[in-house]
Amino acid sequence: MNPDDGMLETRLVRVRGQVQGIGYREACVRRARALAVTGWVRNRMDGSVEVMLQGAPRQLAEMCAWLSEGMPAALVDELEVTDVPPPFARFDEFDRLPTL
């Protein structure tokens, strides 16, 4: 048993680069669900993708690594990760939200 499995963390990630129009959000949803990470993903009008992640530290580290280099068609220039301090809303699943 991993000692950090009981710890729930929330991170807001902004992904900048060539990440829209290539199926990045759909791939992100599949990867997050495979890792049992909850939260959401959406495109931003500025061309970036915003991702809210919730899970154990190990799960979030794996998901951030995927966001950075897990999709070959994506050209990620920058990953801006912000820790969201508690209290935070609990997410039940991982969803795709409309563009903001």
What are the residue boundaries of the structural domains of the chain, listed by start? Answer: 1-75
Per-residue pLDDT at 96? 97
d(CA 23, CA 12): 20
Dihedral (CA of 17, 19, 20, 25) sign:
negative
d(CA 78, CA 37): 21
Residues taking part in catalysis: 25, 43
d(CA 94, CA 87): 19
Task: Give the mean pLDDT per block of 10 residues along the chain (100 residues).
Answer: 64 97 97 98 98 97 96 95 91 96
CATH of domain 1-75: 3.30.70.100
Dihedral (CA of 22, 93, 40, 1) sign:
negative
Task: Quote the tokens at residue 55.
Answer: 């899970």
Per-residue pLDDT at 4? 44
Show the DSSP H helices in 1-100 as ranges: 24-34, 57-69
